Structure 1
């Protein structure tokens, strides 16, 4: 039983609590409500007449120079813009209310595309389009999500049959002289501000906070697989090892073509990805020989593999050049940063297929008139491999496949005239 003195203490504490609660309610009741000075600022109300979207459209149509406007301002022509608008309108269109009119779907899309293309702050976009920055902050990720969902099934899908993989491998062989290659894999850090209370979760080796975009690109700089959202602290190899693509490779559910010998060779070689030294070499993933004291054949193999692998690096560069939001830290949380990255990847693939001018003026790897291999972005010297690392985790089968490619590149059927220049 509780003693009488203890009961008195409990009752006293309860009385004090009730008194404090009542006092707090009284303070709230006495506090005057802050009156809103204006519902919408006057300069924002002029959006329909003086806003950037309506004004620039009118001016450029008058001078008949729409191509310049859309290519440089929204990264696409008007026909392409209208096509995307038709796809995403059902998901981004809002209804008018008695209080105010909703921002039209075409303006929402235009603001979002301008944000992706320029990387401008929401305050800067607010001045251009006469839309409040907090409103832009809300709908830009929503529109990005709608763009990704509208385009992913047709323009951002993994090949699902043997013939599609063979077509990709044939293009790699024709354009980059690497047979049996079904894609180049690499990761890119999408820099963002550190999320609250995240500690070092997103802190990467480059000294920034980021999420990882893991991508596989085909020979035409298009992404055939992406994995976005893993924290930047994880290595490229770690991200790929936990991806659905790696699981599909392990379970043999990608419907890859059966292994076949290289030209004029006897040993069967599987269809595979090319990667850098950050990845674990396995049956379906080739990476360069490590170390510095390499044989001529190993150095040539590293050059040939690097030449094919650079496709994914160039794809990242092309996308970042067109969507310059990827050039600077994104001032959003990890979820919204993921939505923006997914939208950029989907638009990248879509515009490569639909818009001939998307890649105009951009420099990529090529061969000049004298068959010299011209590289527009840096890579490691083909005469030396990456840093020496333990190779005990590499299976004998993977080593034999790499040696088979090395020997093939030294034969008459597999060599290319300019590969020996890397030995000089």
Structure 2
């Protein structure tokens, strides 16, 4: 004879279990990185994706949910279903470093980031995240100290602490190369979301909960378990290319003038200035990738 459990009982069990998983694991598997740990993350981004001074990739993901009673269209997103937004940052090996769950699905990624605690800490309280001091880029002879930064897509603001791609309407070859180099690192967060989806079946269908707090508990538990698995049993990425390799560069002739121009470090600390500087830095022989000309220059 089967003995069933009521919806209310199951709901309490799920809420308590997922909250306990988060509380037990996050101090070890998702604590705020120290300055030394941020530096190790930056070194790993350079080792794997050849992007210097990058300390993370940020993006938001719409998590499908069943309509919460009396919520109206609060969670109805532009994709045509009800969702909550999971805002997350990760390192080069697709382990989450920061997450924030529960923002209404009708909001854009940029709006969620601005309203999130993560965004406030970066915009106004950077010291809360223990971010390291600016550091000179590898092979950069100007002597300027470049800020550490996160990478994101076009939905996010550009600032000294966050770089995003150039808009498609203004692209030239130099900017195409920058977008390509940025996307090599930015795909880390997409890979993290993809691995998380493939591991946890709860994300393959709309989360069935009438309580937004329970939904948030489930998402936190899923993210911390993702880190737990990646760090204990996951296969770390391996570098696919070494900048010291003697492969021929074959840079195109139309970029020779830009390649030969000396780098001038930005005098003003605006995100646009640092993006332009990094774009020209990627053209220099010691910091360019042989295959970037093939994939980016028509």
Tell me by how many angstroms 1:176 deviates.
Answer: 0.8
The superposition leaves residues 11-47 of structure 1 with CA deviations (integer Å, 9 ceiling, x where unpaired) of xxxxxxxxxxxxxxxxxxxxxxxxxxxxxxx233xxx
Matches within 5 A, 1:341-356: 341-356=219-234
2:70 aligned with 1:194: no
Q: Structure 1: how far apart are the matches of 2:239 and 2:78? A: 31
2:190 aligned with 1:316: no
The two structures have a TM-score, normalised by structure 1, of: 0.60
Q: Structure 2: how far apart are the matches of 1:365 and 1:194? A: 42
The answer to whether the Cα contact below 8 Å between 2:48 and 2:240 also exists between their aligned partners in 1 is: no
Tell me by how many angstroms 1:366 deviates.
Answer: 7.7
Q: Structure 1: how far apart are the matches of 2:131 and 2:57? A: 15
The structure with the greater share of residues assigned to helix is 1
Q: Structure 1: how far apart are the matches of 2:239 and 2:200? A: 23
2:31 aligned with 1:153: no
Q: Which runs of 5+ in 2 are unaligned?
A: 246-267
Q: Structure 2: how far apart are the matches of 1:284 and 1:303? A: 19
* Aligned partner (choices 339, 352, 371) of residue 217 of structure 2: 339
Matches within 5 A, 1:2-401: 42-44=1-3, 132=5, 134=7, 135-159=9-33, 161-249=34-122, 250-253=124-127, 254-262=129-137, 263-266=139-142, 267-333=144-210, 334-356=212-234, 367=240, 397-401=270-274
The answer to whether the Cα contact below 8 Å between 2:75 and 2:84 also exists between their aligned partners in 1 is: yes
Q: Structure 1: how far apart are the matches of 2:21 and 2:140? A: 47
Tell me by how many angstroms 1:158 deviates.
Answer: 1.6
Tell me by how many angstroms 1:261 deviates.
Answer: 2.4
The superposition leaves residues 297-316 of structure 1 with CA deviations (integer Å, 9 ceiling, x where unpaired) of 10000001011001001000
* Aligned partner (choices 265, 279, 282) of residue 406 of structure 1: 279
The answer to whether the Cα contact below 8 Å between 2:59 and 2:87 also exists between their aligned partners in 1 is: yes
Q: Structure 2: how far apart are the matches of 1:277 and 1:255? A: 26
Tell me the C-alpha RMSD between the 2 structures: 2.2
- In structure 2, relative to structure 1, the CA distance for the partners of 1:132 and 1:251 (3 Å cut) is closer
Q: Structure 1: how far apart are the matches of 2:285 and 2:153? A: 26
- In structure 2, relative to structure 1, the CA distance for the partners of 1:396 and 1:290 (3 Å cut) is farther
Query: Which residue of structure 2 lines up, in the alignment, with residue 63 of structure 1?
Result: none
**Comparing both chains, which one has the higher relative contact order based on Cα–Cα distances under 8 Å and sequence gaps of 6 or more?**
2
Q: Structure 2: how far apart are the matches of 1:352 and 1:407? A: 35
Tell me by how many angstroms 1:224 deviates.
Answer: 0.4
- In structure 2, relative to structure 1, the CA distance for the partners of 1:417 and 1:133 (3 Å cut) is farther
Q: Structure 1: how far apart are the matches of 2:141 and 2:102? A: 42
Tell me by how many angstroms 1:418 deviates.
Answer: 1.3
Tell me by how many angstroms 1:187 deviates.
Answer: 0.4
**How many residues are paired up?**
267
The answer to whether the Cα contact below 8 Å between 1:265 and 1:408 also exists between their aligned partners in 2 is: no
Q: Structure 1: how far apart are the matches of 2:199 and 2:55? A: 25
The two structures have a TM-score, normalised by structure 2, of: 0.84
- In structure 2, relative to structure 1, the CA distance for the partners of 1:265 and 1:200 (3 Å cut) is farther
